[in-house]
A and B are shown apart, each in its own frame.
Chain A
């Protein structure tokens, strides 16, 4: 009986293994005759749903499928530097320029922008809502020593935040300055729980609106603008990247068709991404 049982489980395992191999094989076959490019991008473009709004249309127009990996901008650029992806769509202009200068990217093509906002408790205990600009708003938070959640993960949002502290001439440190080392969603949840201030992109905020008790306490400064650019990984550095297909993607992204798709995109009824010539 014991023997029967174990041979039965062995059979079960073997057939499972077979099934897995079969599906893997099928998947591989399907891919081979289809053009696929890999893109590293930020969580904001992916989590907001923008890419799922755009990329199927691109595939319809050109037959090229784009597989995207969503992560912080710092890591997305690193994947580009390692030649692990064909193209990046990110939001950190200085890091992007360095990426191109170092010969890893071909050219930085601006695509669209959205903006950052500062969320905080609705009663705004550090009274930052009347501040002159974003740097002044952060300065008030630091003076009040009310808790502020920082991404602390070298993402595009974190780079922007560090830049704003620099502008304010403050080196944030202390118990009020919480370096979370996590993604935007996790940081918003943390800020919500601690009733803290936090810098976020508007898209993530809108997608979590219903779960948050926090309010938009500061917005509208031009320093909070968040420009996105698309950059092809340099085929001179990595000859096996799909440069030709990426060029079609970039052409498409700057076409009138893509532009109207971008401006039509709404989250909770709000337009999330804007064009530069809008």
Chain B
């Protein structure tokens, strides 16, 4: 028990001292996760929106596929992308493996289904009413879509934040595709893996505390948005 407390105390000190390695892992994590959430959103938001607005043959199958993909194992995504970008793979000559770009690619694929499904199920009910109302009032399709998004901003923010929370805390994609290279692709989660395997529990704990705070912050943002939209 004393050992655990000691490690935790050391961890807090490391954080307060703004340890260089900790900050490095944090900034890599933020850069990679924000990029992948932004790219995935740019694809998944319109996709989820269209899926909620339009009927098309095979929609149920696509939805079923999306729901399955919610539980997509990170290592399988990692493996799949790895096979494509390894030197012998189809995209091998781009030399992407073990770079931040590789992690972003994997994470984008990981959360596109997640964000699409969340946006779709959030918009499902009201989307057509709001959209048609807006078009009747003379709004262009773009303006009408914007109106829907504004109406449903809580759901949209929640979807994006859920996606961010998933990539920030995943380890399979980051480790397989990034390779845990110090100062380049070492994220908080892969650093925790390394430090624990070396028995450096204080550093691992410090990283864990930072990661938890990050996830907590994300949840606070979601809650703040929800309480504000309830007030409106």
* A residues neighboring B (CB under 8 Å): 71-72, 74-75, 78-79, 152-154, 178-182, 186, 190, 192-195
| A to B CB contacts below 8 Å, 27 in the list | A71-B197, A72-B197, A72-B198, A74-B198, A75-B197, A75-B198, A78-B198, A79-B199, A153-B194, A153-B197, A153-B198, A154-B198, A178-B98, A178-B181, A179-B181, A179-B183, A180-B179, A181-B180, A181-B181, A181-B190, A181-B191, A181-B194, A182-B175, A182-B180, A182-B194, A186-B179, A193-B98
Closest chain-A Cβ to B204's Cβ sits at a distance in Å of 12
> Is B181's CB under 8 angstroms from A180's CB?
yes
CA distance A181 to B194 in the complex (A): 6
> Do A179 and B182 contact each other (CB < 8 Å), given the known contacts A193-B97, A193-B98?
yes
The CA-CA distance from A270 to B183 in the complex, in Å, is 38
Q: CA of A182 to CA of B176 in the docked complex: distance in angstroms?
A: 11
Q: Given the complex, which residues of A lie within 8 Å of B197, measured CB to CB? A: 71-72, 75, 153
- Which residues from chain B contact A79 at a C-beta distance below 8 Å? 199
Neighbouring A residues of B191 by C-beta, 8 Å: 181
Cα of A195 to Cα of B97 in the assembled complex, Å: 12
Report B-chain residues with C-beta under 8 Å of the C-beta of A192. 87
B179 with A182: CB separation less than 8 A: yes
Instruction: Provide the bound-state CA to CA distance between A186 and B191, in Å.
Output: 15
Rounded to whole angstroms, the CA-CA distance of A79 and B184 in the bound complex is: 30
B179 proximity list for chain A (CB < 8 A) = 180, 182, 186, 190
A74 to B196, CA, bound (A): 12
Chain B nearest CB, measured from A183 CB (Å): 9
Q: Mark B72-98, 1 if CB is under 8 A from A, else 0.
A: 000000000000001100000001011
Instruction: List residues 98-115 of chain B with CB under 8 A from any CB of chain A.
Output: 98
Question: Could you tell me which B residues sit within 8 Å of A by CB distance?
Answer: 86-87, 95, 97-98, 175, 179-184, 186, 190-191, 194, 197-199
B183 to chain A, nearest CB (A): 7
Q: Which of B86, B95, B182, B199 has the most CB of A within 10 A?
A: B199
Contacts of B98 in A (CB 8 A): 178, 190, 193-194
Complexed CA–CA distance, A111 and B197 (Å): 26
CA distance A205 to B193 in the complex (A): 24
Bound CA–CA A152/B194 (angstroms):
10
Known: A153-B194, A179-B183, A194-B95. 14 other contacts (CB 8 A): A72-B197, A75-B197, A78-B199, A153-B197, A178-B181, A180-B182, A181-B180, A181-B190, A182-B194, A186-B179, A190-B179, A192-B87, A193-B86, A193-B87
Q: Which B residues are in CB contact (< 8 Å) with A186?
A: 179
- Chain A's nearest CB lies how many Å from the CB of B5? 16
User: Among A72, A154, A180, which residue has its beta carbon within 8 angstroms of that of B180?
Assistant: A180
Nearest-neighbour CB distance to chain A for B196, whole angstroms, equals 9
Given A72-B198, A154-B198: A181 in contact with B182 (beta carbons within 8 A): yes
Q: Which of B175, B181, B184, B190 has the most CB of A within 10 A?
A: B181
Q: Which residues of B contact A72 (CB under 8 A)?
A: 197-198
Q: Which 10 residue pairs spanning A and B have beta carbons closest together?
A: A179-B182, A78-B199, A181-B180, A181-B194, A193-B87, A75-B199, A154-B198, A193-B97, A178-B181, A190-B179
User: How far does the Cβ of A256 sit from chain B's closest Cβ, in whole Å?
Assistant: 36
User: Once bound together, how far apart are the Cα atoms of A196 and B162, in whole Å?
Assistant: 38
Chain B contacts for A180, CB-based, 8 A: 179-182
For residue A127, give the distance in angstroms from its CB to the closest CB of chain B: 22
A194 to B184, CA, bound (A): 15
* Set of chain B residues within 8 Å of A195, measured between Cβ atoms: 87
Q: Which residues of B contact A179 (CB under 8 A)?
A: 181-183
Taken together as a complex, chains A and B put the C-alpha atoms of A179 and B179 apart, in Å, by 9
Closest A residue, CB atoms, query B89: A193
Residues of A within 8 A of B198 (CB): 72, 74-75, 78, 153-154
Q: Which of B86, B179, B183 has the most CB of A within 10 A?
A: B179
Minimum distance in angstroms from A171 CB to a CB of chain B: 15
A194 to B179 CA separation, bound complex (whole angstroms): 12
| Complex CA distance for A78 and B200, rounded to whole angstroms | 10
Quote the shortest CB–CB distance from B119 to chain A (angstroms): 30
Q: In this complex, what residue of B is CB-closest to A77?
A: B199
Q: How far is the CB of A72 from chain B (nearest CB, A)?
A: 7
Chain B residues within an 8 Å CB radius of A153: 194, 197-198
Cα A181 to Cα B175 with chains together (Å): 10
